[in-house]
Amino acid sequence: MQRLLKLLLLAAVALSFAVTAAFAHAFLDKAVPGVGTTVVLSPSELQLTFTQKIVPAFSGVRIAAIGGKRVPSDKAVVDHANPKVLHVRLLHPLRPGTYVVTWHVVSVDTHRTSGHYRFTVSP
Ligand SMILES: [Cu+2]
């Protein structure tokens, strides 16, 4: 009986560590232009804020017109003042339409995460 209790306790501790680790990954916290929003003017850059500090060498952001061509942009750079923020400068203004932003990052805990979101530039 004692042994079973010990095992259960160990399992509970292991589980709580697993949950903590999952929450420690870098996920997208917010973006400019905002996730799912419509903006009137083309942004000159995208700004992605993550829940953790980012390792720029292993991180990247691409933007494409929905079902269409990739939009030329500079490589994503980490904000000097806030290493949770990536800046991606667009080389041309965006024409009206919906765009998909696809990101992958490695956070300082070495975990890799990725995702995508859309935003729209109104006509
Ligand atoms: Cu992590």
CA of 24 relative to ligand 1 center, distance in Å: 4
Question: How far from 62 is each of 57, 71, 76, CA to CA, in Å?
Answer: 15, 8, 9
CA of 121 relative to ligand 1 center, distance in Å: 33
pLDDT for the residue numbered 68: 85
CA 15 – CA 52 distance, rounded (Å): 22
CA of 22 relative to ligand 1 center, distance in Å: 6
pLDDT for the residue numbered 24: 72
Kindly report the length of the chain. Answer: 123
Task: Give the chain's domains with CATH numbers.
Answer: 2-121 (2.60.40.1220)
Interacting residues of 41 by C-beta distance below 8 A, sequence separation 6+: 121
Q: What is the pLDDT along the chain (123 residues), one digit of tens a residue?
A: 676 666 666 666 565 555 555 557 899 999 999 999 999 999 999 999 999 999 989 999 999 999 889 999 999 999 999 999 999 999 999 999 999 999 999 999 999 999 999 999 999
pLDDT for the residue numbered 18: 55
